[in-house]
Structure 1
Amino acid sequence: MQLYNTLSAKERAALIEEAGKERLTLSFYQYAHIGNPEILRNHLFITWDKLDVLGRIYVAKEGINAQLSVPAENFEAFKEHLDSISFLNGVRLNIAVEQDNKSFLKLKVKVRHKIVADGLDDHTFDVTDKGVHVDAEGFNKLLDDPNTVLVDMRNHYESEIGHFKGAITPDVDTFRESLPIIEDDLKAHKEDKNLVMYCTGGIRCEKASAYFKHKGFKKVFQLEGGIIEYTRQVENKDLENKFIGKNFVFDERRAERISEDIIANCHQCGKPCDTHINCANEGCHLLFIQCEECAEKMNHCCSEDCKDIVALPYEEQKSLRKGKKASNKIFKKGRSSVLKFKS
């Protein structure tokens, strides 16, 4: 029984182009108590592979986190399958603001210890005991309340290119780093302030809302559906958009433009820019912000060393990176010392 991909990303991209069919990029999550994640993982892979679903899905004992694309013609069958699973019946689906048929090129369903790594080892903490969900209209009203503290639960490289006006944007690399920082900074306001949180699609601030309730915060709110759903509601209901810049997304698109504001800068020259790229040197692959001029000058690389490497024959490049891992550098996400403006 096939429980893994048989095609490479390049082969899959060619098939998608050849098929010429529209695909929908979407995401969803659900916290729940899952007894055997491995069984659910296998069931999802077998069923979704038949529907030509592609994406990155994590399953754990605390729930599921899915970012994927599905052929538009198979969407109803996909939704029917979700509704057949008790804890996913009626789950909210966040449809991407900007669509791209090649947002995902493989189907990866993995079992993880947690769907959002939090660094916590507290068995009295119930992730399903969440804060109050608010829609875009309710969120805007809370932001107009002077008694509200707004916190971005995303990482620094996400909030750098876009965030809500007036939000606290912790300078962190991971979600787990943000929890103790926020708790310490706001501990004097556990009783009196509205603690309002947001993230990309809702999954991180939902866990955070449950955590801060567990820590004694009394007025805890989260933006339902995150920035993705907020943008949709703002457009559909003609509401004021309080988000500036781009929303960072974790697929081939890297970001969705929400407003015309450019609030970030090229990490190499400092020019206003909010376009993330990965260094063209596959042995580096660093994520950083690069303007068109620097991209041309640096051949889409983060440094002169990487530029020299990508100029070499491909086989020589492979030989240079053999046995080396770039993951630690990748997750610096723009903090590398080679980026003159950022550093």
Structure 2
Amino acid sequence: MQLYNTLSADDRAKLIDEAGLQRLTLSFYTYAQIADPQQFRDELFIRWSQLDVLGRIYVAHEGINAQLSLPAPNFAAFKEFLDTYSFMKDIRLNVAVEHDNKSFLKLKVKVRDKIVADGLNDDTFDPTDIGIHLKAKDFNRMMEDPDTIVIDMRNHYESEIGHFTGAITPDVDTFRESLPIIDDQLKDYKDNKNLLMYCTGGIRCEKASAYFKHKGFKNVYQLEGGIIEYTRQVKAEGLDSKFIGKNFVFDNRLGERITEDVIAHCHQCGKPCDTHTNCLNDGCHLLFIQCDECADKMKGCCSDTCKEIVSLPEEQRKDLRKGKHNDAMIFKKGKSKSLLFKV
């Protein structure tokens, strides 16, 4: 019984091309009590492999968080399978604004301690006591209230390329960093302000809204379905988009165009640009913003050092990578001394 990937990303890309089917990119999450996450994980992997699902899925005792793609003809069977689990029956699926057949090239279903790492160890905190969900129209209306504070619950590299106008965008690398920072900055407004939060698909706001209610905030709201669902409703209902720029996504696309506004800059030359890339040096893979001109000049690399390394024969590059780990640099997405225009 196959429970893990056996194909490389290149092999999978070839199979996708040969199949010639349109693939849908989507995401979903739910907080639920899962008694045996490992068994649940294996059940998902077996069935989803049969449906040619690819993606990155985290499961834990507290629920599931999934970003994935699948052939459009398999969508009905996929939804039918989800409905066999009571906590996923009729679950909202956030379908991507822009599709790419190669948004994911492997199926990874991993068991984690939590589906959203929050750094919290508080037994009195109830993650199910969440804030009020708002649809796009009501979210727009509340943004206009002078007693509303809009908070971006994403990380710096996400909000840099797109965010809601007037939102507070914490300069953080991880979700867990943002919670105490926001609590400290807004501690004087717990009773008299509306705390209006948003994130990519809603999962981080779900936990954050419960956290801030736990910390004593009286009026806590969150954008239902996150930026992805907001964009769908804006288009369907002809609303004004108060989100400008691009929505960062955690797959090979690295971003969805929401409006034509370009609010970020190339981290190497400073010109307007909002295209993320990963440094082509396999020993680096730093995520940063790079324009076409700099990509050509730097051969897709973040620094002269990495540029020199990618020009070496493969065997030499492998020798340089032996025994070294690049996780710390990747984690600091877009933050490197070699990037002169990171703001």
The alpha carbon displacement at 1:268 in A equals 0.6
Return the alpha-carbon distance in structure 2 between the equivalents of residues 62 and 213 of structure 1: 19
Please give the residue correspondences for 1:234-313 in structure 2 after superposition, counting only pairs within 5 Å.
234-313=234-313
Q: CA deviation at 1:126?
A: 1.4
Opposite residue 57 of structure 1, the aligned amino acid is: I
Equivalent positions of 1:297-336 (< 5 A) are: 297-336=297-336
- CA shift at 1:241, angstroms? 0.5
Indicate the SS of the match to 1:27: strand
Distance in 2, matches of 1:235 and 1:3, equals: 40
Query: Which stretch of structure 1 is more off in the superposition, 34-43 or 61-70?
Result: 34-43
1:138 partner letter: D
Question: How many Å apart are 1:44 and its aligned residue?
Answer: 0.7
Q: CA deviation at 1:331?
A: 1.2
Aligned to 1:102: 102
| 2:342 aligned partner | 342
Cα distance in structure 2, aligned partners of 1:290 and 1:105: 23
Report the alpha carbon displacement of residue 247 of structure 1 after superposing the two structures with TM: 0.3
Query: 184-193 or 220-229, which moves further after superposition?
Result: 184-193
1:8 corresponds in structure 2 to: 8
Deviation at 1:271, TM superposition (A): 0.6
Amino acid across the alignment from 2:200: T
Among all aligned residue pairs of Structure 1 and Structure 2, give the percentage whose two residues are the same amino acid: 72
Partner of 1:172: 172
Rounded Cα–Cα distance in structure 1 between residues aligned with 2:109 and 2:99:
22
| Aligned-residue offset at 1:64 | 0.4
Deviation at 1:342, TM superposition (A): 1.7
| 8 A contact 1:62–1:127 mirrored in 2 | no
SS of the residue aligned with 1:79? helix
* One-letter code aligned to 1:39: Q
Question: In the TM superposition, what are the counterparts of 1:143-154 in structure 2 within 5 Å?
Answer: 143-154=143-154
In 1: Cα distance, 2:131 partner to 2:289 partner: 34
Q: Cα distance, 1:6 vs. partner?
A: 0.9
Rounded to whole Å, the distance in 1 between the matches of 2:290 and 2:145 is: 37
CA RMSD across the alignment: 0.8
> How far did 1:192 drift?
1.1
Report the Cα distance in structure 1 between the residues aligned to 2:81 and 2:124, rounded to whole angstroms.
33
1:26–1:68 CA contact under 8 A, matched in 2: yes
Counterpart-to-counterpart distance in 1, 2:33 and 2:44 = 17
The match for 2:160 is: 160
Distance, in Å, in 2 between the alignment partners of 1:36 and 1:191 is 40
Give the 3-state SS of the residue equivalent to 1:16 in structure 2: helix
What SS class does the counterpart of residue 288 from structure 2 fall into? strand
The amino acid that maps onto 2:217 is F
Number of the residue aligned with 1:122 = 122
- Does the CA-based 8 Å contact 1:32-1:128 persist in structure 2? no
2:22 and 2:292 map into 1 onto residues whose CA distance is: 29
Gaps of 5+ in 1: none
Secondary structure at 1:230 match in 2: helix
Deviates more, 1:313-322 or 1:268-277: 313-322
1:27 and 2:16 are equivalent in the alignment: no
Separation in structure 1 between the aligned mates of residue 322 and residue 185 of structure 2, nearest angstrom: 44
Deviation sequence 1:205-252 (CA, Å, 0-9, x none): 110001111111111000000000000000000001101110000000
Distance 2:9 2:278 in 1: 17
SS of the counterpart of 1:150? strand
Supply the distance in 1 between the matched residues of 2:68 and 2:123 (Cα, whole angstroms).
31
Counterpart secondary structure, 1:195: strand
> Displacement, 1:319?
1.4
Cα deviation for residue 299 of structure 1 reads 0.6
**Matching residue's letter, 1:10:** D
Q: TM-score, normalised by structure 1?
A: 0.99
**Residue aligning to 2:208:** 208
C-alpha offsets along residues 67-104 of structure 1, whole Å, 9 cap, x if unaligned? 00011000000001111100001110000000000001
Give the AA of the match of 2:236.
N
Once the two structures are superposed, the pairs formed by residues 34-113 of structure 1 within 5 Å of their partners are 34-113=34-113
Kept in 2: contact 1:25–1:68 (CA 8 A) = yes
| Partner SS, residue 186 of structure 2 | helix
Paired AA for residue 207 in structure 1: K
Q: Which residue of 1 aligns with 2:230?
A: 230
Contact in 2 for aligned 1:156/1:169 (Cα 8 Å): yes
CA distance in 2, matches of 1:279, 1:224: 34
Tell me the amino acid that sits aligned with residue 205 of structure 1.
C
The secondary structure found in structure 2 opposite 1:18 is helix
- TM-superposed deviation, 1:201: 0.4
Deviation at 1:137, TM superposition (A): 0.5
Question: What code does the residue aligned with 2:221 have?
Answer: F
Letter in 1 for 2:92: R
Q: TM-score, normalised by structure 2?
A: 0.99
Give, as a single letter, the amino acid of the residue that structure 1 aligns with 2:261: D
1:173 corresponds to which letter in structure 2? D
2: CA distance between counterparts of 1:179 and 1:240?
A: 29
| Structure 2, unpaired ranges of 5+ | none
